[in-house]
Amino acid sequence: AYTAGTGAWLLLQAIRAKAAPGTLARMAAYMALDTATGTVPLAGDLVDTFFPGQLLAAKALQKDIETSHWVEDSEANARASGEHERHLETVRNHKSLRRVVYLHD
């Protein structure tokens, strides 16, 4: 129950943070594997010890957040005002950024 509950909470936070679909899939896979192996008596304990699914999912979400350029606007407004190109340029100029996320979309 703990693993499924924390996994659902982490995925909810990822959706709220507008995580990329690949990040959501990776997080879901980590949590599904962790939850599925948790039901196996001895092997489940070993997997829980050496495969921290919640930690891996949380780190995937953190990495996704850190590689996003957050904009307090909608994409439609940014395109209409000409700011969209400036945001794309910001992503191109920073090696650590991969995408633009508009918070009002």
pLDDT > 90? residue 16: yes
Higher pLDDT, 57 or 52: 57
Rounded to an integer, what distance in angstroms lies between the CA atom of residue 83 and that of residue 44?
51
For the entire predicted model, the pTM comes to 0.81
Q: What integer pLDDT is reported at residue 11 of this predicted model?
A: 95
pLDDT at 45: 78
Bridge partners, residue 69, by sequence? 100
Nearest CA to 24 among 34, 35, 33, 13?
A: 13
Which bin fits 71, alpha (ψ -120 to 50), beta or left (φ > 0)?
beta
Supply 30's token pair. Answer: 């980590």
42 vs 29, residue with greater confidence: 29
Asked if residues 54 and 6 have their Cβ atoms less than 8 Å apart, the reply is: yes
